[in-house]
Structure 1
Amino acid sequence: MTGAKDAHQHGVVGDGYPAGAGWVVPAQGELDQDTLAPLEEALTSAADRHPLVVLDAGCITFGDSSFLNLLLRLHHLTDLRVAAPCQQLRRLFAVTGADTVLSLHANVEDALGA
């Protein structure tokens, strides 16, 4: 059994999987500067290998400015699409204007088909 900190750190990212021409990275929970490292590693790794990366955000309950900054950086490295963002994330994207930059979709299937 891993320690509580390890479980907390790695618990924000699920197992990624191939989908069409892209790669899906599922994430969950609260994403801030203290929990973001595993997601950053997963997204950066996917961006290095795939022209399309979909962040399955359906289980993300909170994202802060460091999370938003990560998405904007990744947006420049690959075709990043954000699927199923919760109300808090949609509000964050709208207030910051990121919704005009990021590719937001209702679900993973829509993101893959866009």
Structure 2
Amino acid sequence: MTINEGAGASQTAATDIEVIVPQGELDLDNLLPLTLQLERAALAGPAVVLDASGITFGDSSFLRVLLSVGRQTDLRIAAPRPVLERLIRIVGMDQVLKVYPTVEAAKAAPVPV
């Protein structure tokens, strides 16, 4: 399911952990559909995986959404491109969000109790 052309987000459910798959550039202009999707998923299950492999750009508003959703649920960032992974580490978000090399690894990680 494509949310909008800008974010190009889609979602698939795997067991109890929802996988959200955004595409392209994520910034203030096109972030609302992904934000709503992440917030709904946070309420629906014990964890949410963000498949970041298709994200080519994320601005500070995108990072703020990740932090906000990460406070609501076990948010797992999977397969980020090197630029996004570096940004997450530079701003210290890797200390509060979990980053995994693949979607499979993110889904397989135990859910905190």
TM-score by length of 2: 0.88
User: Are residues 1:103 and 2:94 paired?
Assistant: no
Greater than 3 Å deviation, 4+ residue runs: none
Partner of 1:78 in structure 2? 73
**Residues in 1 aligned to 2:84 and 2:4: alpha-carbon distance in whole angstroms:** 24
Which amino acid is 1:84 matched to?
A: A
User: How has the CA–CA distance of structure 1 residues 8 and 112 changed in structure 2, closer, same or farther, with 3 Å as cutoff?
Assistant: same
Q: CA deviation at 1:7?
A: 4.8
Once the two structures are superposed, residues 7-50 of structure 1 have per-residue CA deviations (whole angstroms, 9 ceiling, x without a partner) of: 534x4211x12212211111110001111111101101111111
Matched, 1:42 2:21: no
Q: How does 1:1-114 map to 2 (within 5 A)?
A: 7-9=4-6, 11-14=7-10, 16-114=11-109
Could you tell me how far apart the structure 2 residues matched to 1:55 and 1:7 are?
17
Rg comparison, structure with higher value: 1
Partner-residue secondary structure (3-state), 1:76: helix
Contact 2:4 2:33 in 1 (8 A): no
Q: How many residues align?
A: 107
Name the aligned partner's letter for residue 20 of structure 1: T
Partner of 2:49, secondary structure, is strand
TM-score by length of 1: 0.88
Unaligned 5+ runs, structure 1: 1-5
| Structure 2 stretches lacking a partner, 5+ long | none
1:87 deviates by: 1.4
Q: How large is the Cα RMSD of the aligned pairs?
A: 1.4
How far apart are residue 109 of structure 1 and its match? 0.2
Counterpart-to-counterpart distance in 2, 1:46 and 1:7: 17
